[in-house]
């Protein structure tokens, strides 16, 4: 059963990027592939881009699409084996997912971490319950530890804008008032390194990510040093992974991305996955400046989703 859960599900990145270029040029060339087939998008957490871009990608492939926001619109689900369901959950995830699999040829699921217990989050129980019980291919729409559709779009965007074969890409932590998952930075690092790009990760002390994602990157606590010579700046907040899992350890405003910081770079393009808090994570002048590529980056979410869905449809 093919799934799309991480970069491991794309062993041929150069071919994936070639398909992305083809999809971009002729988006409707595969509109027969999804005929009489249905994609189900299950959101346990909010979304704008993932929801709309994946729906649009499905439409381009002639694939029907159904969306369910389980946090608002359906029954609360119990998880785990042998639970006595006398609380507020009306059904078990194994029954709900098996039913969804009857209605769809492909299922996507968004399941954020709780940021309370690291072992539980990194076990990816919800994602694995979908893989185990659906009986159809599963697409991660951002799980507890990864956001592969975002990272795929990020790689497509860097390939589109790079002016040298191996650009210097910098992932930098930036401040945020709420504790956010590590999924976007984990996944971004994993994809950049799999693609063989030169990746530097800058963050305050204590924000080290799991080395299973970052091994091979240059790690630093010096944001200015990281920015020197950078061709791409990718900003993202995340909460702590190692000590005090899921907590905010720093609110240092000096880590916000400003025009002065961008001046240190090699005229770098600026990227962010969005949603972004203006003048907290990044200054307006950077987001609205000539080197910001946040909107084409978001546009590439359709391309990434379409390549993934196209590949799954070709295999089922």
Interface residues with ligand CP (CB under 6 A) are: 47-50, 142, 150, 273-275
Residue 48's binding partner among ligand AN0, ligand CP, none (Cβ under 5 to 8 angstroms by kind) is ligand CP
Q: How far apart are CB 202 and ligand AN0 at their closest, in Å? A: 17
Give yes or no for residue 235 binding ligand AN0 (CB under 6 A): no
Question: Which neighbouring-strand residues pair with 68?
Answer: 42
Give yes or no for residue 183 binding ligand AN0 (CB under 6 A): yes
Q: How far apart are CB 143 and ligand CP at their closest, in Å? A: 12
- Give the nearest residue (CB) to ligand CP: 50
Structure tokens at 62: 């002639």
Nearest to ligand CP of 273, 283 (CB atom):
273
The Cβ-side half-sphere exposure at 88, using a 13 Å CA radius, reads 2
Nearest to ligand CP of 78, 302 (CB atom):
302
Task: Give the residue, chosen from 10, 20, 184, 256, that forms a contact with ligand AN0 under the rule CB under 6 A.
Answer: 184
Neighbour count for residue 296 (Cβ, 10 Å): 15
Looking up tokens 């509109």 gives 31
String marking each residue 243-282 x if it binds ligand AN0 according to CB under 6 A = ------------------------------x-x-------
Alpha-carbon distance 239 to 115, whole Å? 8
Residues 6+ apart with CB under 8 A from 2: 9, 137, 311, 312, 315, 316
DSSP one-letter code for 182: S
Phi, psi of 267, deg, nearest 5: 55, 45
Q: How far apart are CB 54 and ligand CP at their closest, in Å? A: 9
Is residue 43 within 8 Å of 69, Cβ to Cβ?
yes
């Amino acid at each position: 059963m093919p799934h799309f859960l991480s970069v491991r599900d794309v062993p041929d990145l150069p071919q994936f990027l070639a398909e992305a270029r083809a999809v971009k040029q002729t988006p409707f060339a595969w509109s027969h592939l999804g005929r009489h087939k249905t994609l189900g998008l299950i959101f346990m957490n909010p979304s704008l881009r993932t929801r709309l871009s994946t729906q649009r990608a499905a439409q381009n492939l002639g694939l029907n699409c159904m969306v369910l926001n389980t946090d608002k619109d359906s029954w609360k689900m119990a998880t785990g084996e042998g639970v006595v369901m006398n609380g507020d959950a009306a059904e078990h995830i194994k029954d709900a997912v098996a039913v969804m699999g009857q209605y769809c040829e492909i299922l996507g699921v968004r399941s954020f971490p709780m940021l309370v217990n690291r072992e539980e989050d990194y076990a990816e129980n919800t994602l694995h319950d979908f893989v185990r019980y659906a009986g159809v291919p599963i697409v991660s729409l951002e799980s507890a530890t990864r956001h592969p559709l975002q990272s795929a779009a990020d790689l497509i965007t860097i390939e589109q804008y790079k002016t040298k074969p191996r650009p210097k890409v910098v992932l930098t932590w930036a401040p945020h008032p709420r504790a956010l998952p590590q999924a976007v930075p984990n996944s971004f690092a994993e994809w950049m390194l799999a693609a063989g790009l030169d990746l530097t990760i800058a963050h305050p002390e204590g924000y080290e990510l799991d080395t299973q994602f970052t091994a091979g990157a240059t790690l630093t606590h010096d944001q200015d040093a990281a920015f020197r010579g950078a061709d791409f700046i990718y900003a993202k907040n995340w909460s702590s992974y190692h000590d005090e899992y899921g907590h905010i350890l720093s609110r240092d405003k000096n880590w916000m991305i400003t025009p002065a910081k961008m001046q240190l770079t090699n005229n770098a393009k600026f990227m962010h996955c969005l949603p972004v808090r203006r003048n907290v994570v990044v200054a307006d002048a950077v987001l609205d400046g000539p080197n910001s590529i946040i909107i084409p980056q978001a546009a590439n979410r359709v391309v990434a989703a379409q390549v993934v869905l196209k590949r799954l449809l070709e295999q089922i």
